[in-house]
């Protein structure tokens, strides 16, 4: 089957331009342009704090704090030994924070009950509401 056009006579050359090779060349050039354009990076510049080796951590953690009462009659606040007056100051400081950090109390199995009772009295006087006992599984054999 042949397609007949109105303006072309039988045997005359066709005067229309074949645009397929032009489109192919344009696509190749577009791809080359896309490849050669550098990739745009989206970056936000931040000034992050630098780590200082000699800086001591703050005594009160804003998320949770841990009181450990050892068998050697020491009270540890987040791993540092404190007396009951300093403990009360730390507890008063935690009540002013928003949200109030959790307090985890972990007496060792061999700790004196008298000291544990004194620490509980200090926490009661400081009006601590978010407190829990940690490590109760250590008392399973007593």
The count of domains in the chain is: 1
Q: Which domain holds residue 106?
A: 64-139
122 within domain boundaries: yes
19 within domain boundaries: no
Alpha-carbon span 109 to 142, nearest angstrom: 8
CA distances from 111 to 3, 20, 115 (A): 104, 90, 8
Q: What pLDDT does 1 receive?
A: 44
Strand order in the sheet with 102-107: 80-82, 75-77, 64-69, 102-107, 131-133
pLDDT (tens digit per residue) in 53-83: 766 656 777 888 899 999 999 999 988 999 9
For the whole model, what pTM was predicted? 0.56
Nearest to 100, CA basis, from 126, 79, 76, 74: 126
**Partners of 64 in the beta sheet?**
102
Q: What pLDDT does 6 receive?
A: 57
Local confidence band at 115 (pLDDT 50, 70, 90 cut-offs): very high
88 within domain boundaries: yes
Q: Do 123 and 103 meet the contact criterion of CB atoms below 8 Å apart? A: yes
pLDDT (tens digit per residue) in 76-99: 998 899 999 999 999 998 888 888
Q: What pLDDT does 82 receive?
A: 93
């Amino acid at each position: 089957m042949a397609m007949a056009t109105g303006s072309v006579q039988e045997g005359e050359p066709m005067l229309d331009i074949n645009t397929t090779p032009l489109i192919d060349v344009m696509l190749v050039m577009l791809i080359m342009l896309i490849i050669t354009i550098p990739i745009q990076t989206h970056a936000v510049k931040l000034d992050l704090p630098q780590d200082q080796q000699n800086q001591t951590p703050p005594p009160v953690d804003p998320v949770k704090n841990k009181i450990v009462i050892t068998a050697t009659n020491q009270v540890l606040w987040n791993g540092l030994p404190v007396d009951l007056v300093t403990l009360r100051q730390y507890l008063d400081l935690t009540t002013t924070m928003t949200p109030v950090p959790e307090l985890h109390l972990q007496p060792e199995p061999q700790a004196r009950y008298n000291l544990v009772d004194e620490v509980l009295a200090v926490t009661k006087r400081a009006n601590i509401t978010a407190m829990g006992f940690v490590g109760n599984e250590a008392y399973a054999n007593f």
